[in-house]
Chains A and B, each alone.
Chain A
């Protein structure tokens, strides 16, 4: 066992480090470093502009979408090189959050299912951050059960006419394109009647409305489609094969290994280290220590689990299923950590507008954002199903709607 780079990895790391040192927007480094847990904030500039500028610079020098082929705007780098890049990019990597869905899910889907001409046209601007893409899958009636979606696409000549509504679309309000999963045949069972497209988000009939979340922020949108025309040439995969196409998208989502999932632990540890309770420093309190220790081993367990995955990549092996636990563990941990940080402050825990907002407001914001983290990108329950079925080999759920034509599936619980 060792944590050393191979000579090639070391050379790649040195090159990446040098380029980042010479080119990164350092004036925002401090702000980016402080931005915690999905709330990236920089002072005195528009985040989207800064993000686009950084991405463009990276693309020009061949550091964008490292794992994509060169002809589509990438670098053709190996998975381990991508990990090394993320490690070196550090806080500047937070600027990539607006591109994650495009680069991690939409791009790979286009790459797998679009024609060559389209790939050369659409992928390089996506890689360079000139165009932002979103993913239009979830619907009010199809969350965990995505295949239950109801947005209709009907063929008319060389075009499809789309009507319906999507929800929970991250970044739709600043996206240029989207990949869209629709129902093209409601008379067959639900998984069989779906078709995937991509579309220009500026198409007539597309209306984006931000959702105000329980946290008060707006990270997501509802997107309404009213007689939106999509050329058949923008279909991804065969008619009726949309479910399989969407699995490619989701598979790519899981393949992307982040630079580490946020758990809230480092923030809590630092907080406890500085906090005074009535009877002395919090960190010397037995109850506090016990709680901290339990979270510490979860956080370190996740960190070393990613290292095992990275190690497999480094050896050119296929990683095992162990990384599938990350989101499930981290999401509820952030919530628990936030609640505990408030609890430690006693009645003052309720106040989120204290002077020292960096410490105080942080956990209150974490608390209010956390319920969403446990739901987005697969609820805790869906994640457990995935582990149970794909890792442990347990049977899938009994699906009462599996062989029923979609238009005969009940749509209401209690009458």
Chain B
């Protein structure tokens, strides 16, 4: 049994950590947080040069052709550094949708650009409040044009293209939904940036008005693809969440060791120690669930739907838990803009919902476990 990453994969993680600690210090995250830029363009370019953007994209489409385990270790580091770049929308959502459903020409058009850092992609799924559901999709597609509003769309204001979920039928079944590929720079889309809990990863409202679009995958098979994309993205985003959890735990631990109150390091008080121990527990549970998700993702195993939901739930809980208690350990200073704690708290609570909230994934997990049980 080898339920661990390989030495090569661990080396890649180390390389990513080193690169990000140099190119993406908290100061760089802050620049985007403070609104000085929509995202860190330099970092995005650097990630492309390192080969990280196309790590799971086949060589035939300009990627490194490594695989999803490699992408998982990079995702963990991106989360640890809370990198202010459109990585999850472009790499986990858009690229994966293209890989699953794209024609050869569509892949040829966009994947090399993604790998080279020349195109930002996203998935336009949500239409206001609510979780992923075919019923919630009102945006229509007819005769190759889209009409409707998508929000929130992750990184929608900076994206070059979007995979759009549209209604092409009204039978009440999943087959009512089809996917389309839209070049956002070609006109027909109004883009409005939305303020959001985590400004280091933007959200936008996209209004499609007789917007030209090409089908992505077969008509009526959109929902199946969405489900697959969400499962894959759940594992990858969970690795980001685990990376963030670990960093938040470390920040809390370090502060507890340095900060003196009542004549002793606050890390010597059991109230603080036990809080940090519980953070370690949730981060560890999440990491282990993520490893199983990584295995299922990389082997495209039948277990992926269940494993993805478990990784997603566990990692969401862990990151929220670690980031909020990191602030608690820091006391008042943790609540200042100056300290970095809130950047993790923001990211944790944004990632907790951007892919569908806990209740969606809880539902999904139980459905999938039942299915397995019945089989």
Contacts and interface: CB of A to CB of B under 8 A. Distances in A.
A35 interface: no
Given A297-B285, A300-B292, A394 B1 contact: no
A27 interface: no
Interface string A97-118: 0000000000000000000000
B336 interface: no
Interface in B113-133: none
Contact of B292 (A269, A304, A325): A304
Interface in B218-257: 249, 253, 256-257
Nearest to B265: A395
Q: DSSP majority for the B interface?
A: helix
A305 B4 CA distance: 11
Nearest to A83: B1
Nearest to A391: B280
A161 interface: no
B284 A394 contact: no
Contacts of A394: 253, 256-257, 267-268, 272-273, 276
Given A294-B317, A296-B310, A387 B281 contact: yes
Interface in A51-109: none
Contact of B373 (A273, A383, A398): A273
A131 B288 CA distance: 39
A371 B309 CA distance: 31
Contacts of B294: 1
A87 to B, nearest CB: 11
A81 to B, nearest CB: 13
B1 A397 contact: no
A212 B365 CA distance: 41
A149 B273 CA distance: 26
A388 B273 contact: yes
B192 to A, nearest CB: 33
B100 interface: no
Given A297-B289, A307-B3, A325 B284 contact: yes
Contact of A293 (B256, B288, B366): B366
A119 interface: no
Contacts of A312: 4
A49 interface: no
Interface magnitude class on chain B: 35 or more
A269 B313 CA distance: 17
A3 B3 contact: yes
A252 B5 CA distance: 28
B137 interface: no
B317 A315 contact: no
Contacts of B365: 293, 296-297
B313 A397 contact: no
A412 B68 CA distance: 61
B309 to A, nearest CB: 8
A266 to B, nearest CB: 10
A311 interface: yes
Interface in B335-368: 358-359, 361-363, 365-366
Max chain A CB contacts within 10 Å: which of B1, B249, B268?
B1
A4 interface: yes
Contact of B295 (A1, A329, A397): A1
Contacts of A329: 281, 285
Interface in A393-415: 393-398
Interface magnitude class on chain A: 35 or more
Contacts of A301: 284-286, 288-289, 310, 314
Contacts of A1: 2-5, 69, 291, 294-295, 298-299
B370 interface: yes
B274 A384 contact: yes
B285 A302 contact: yes
B277 A392 contact: yes
Given A289-B363, A301-B284, A307-B1, A384 B273 contact: yes
A392 B257 CA distance: 10
Contacts of A3: 1, 3, 295
Contacts of A395: 257, 264-265, 267-268
B283 to A, nearest CB: 10
A396 B268 contact: yes
A62 B136 CA distance: 63
Nearest to A269: B369
B1 A2 contact: yes
A245 interface: no
A337 interface: no
B285 A298 contact: yes
A206 interface: no
Contacts of B278: 384
A1 B358 CA distance: 28
A387 B285 contact: no
Interface in A264-305: 269, 273, 283, 286, 289-290, 292-294, 296-298, 300-305
Nearest to A303: B288
Contacts of A328: 277, 281
Max chain A CB contacts within 10 Å: which of B4, B281, B292, B298?
B281
Contacts of A296: 310, 365-366, 369
B253 A392 contact: yes
Contacts of B314: 297-298, 300-301
B270 interface: yes
B2 A290 contact: no
B273 A389 contact: yes
A321 to B, nearest CB: 9
A315 B7 CA distance: 12
Interface in A2-20: 2-5, 9
A328 B274 CA distance: 12
A322 B288 contact: yes
B366 A310 contact: no
A381 B285 contact: no
Given A388-B277, A394-B256, A297 B317 contact: yes
8 contacts: A1-B3, A286-B359, A286-B363, A301-B310, A307-B1, A311-B1, A329-B285, A394-B276
4 closest A-B pairs by beta carbon, nearest first, are A301-B285, A293-B362, A388-B273, A304-B288
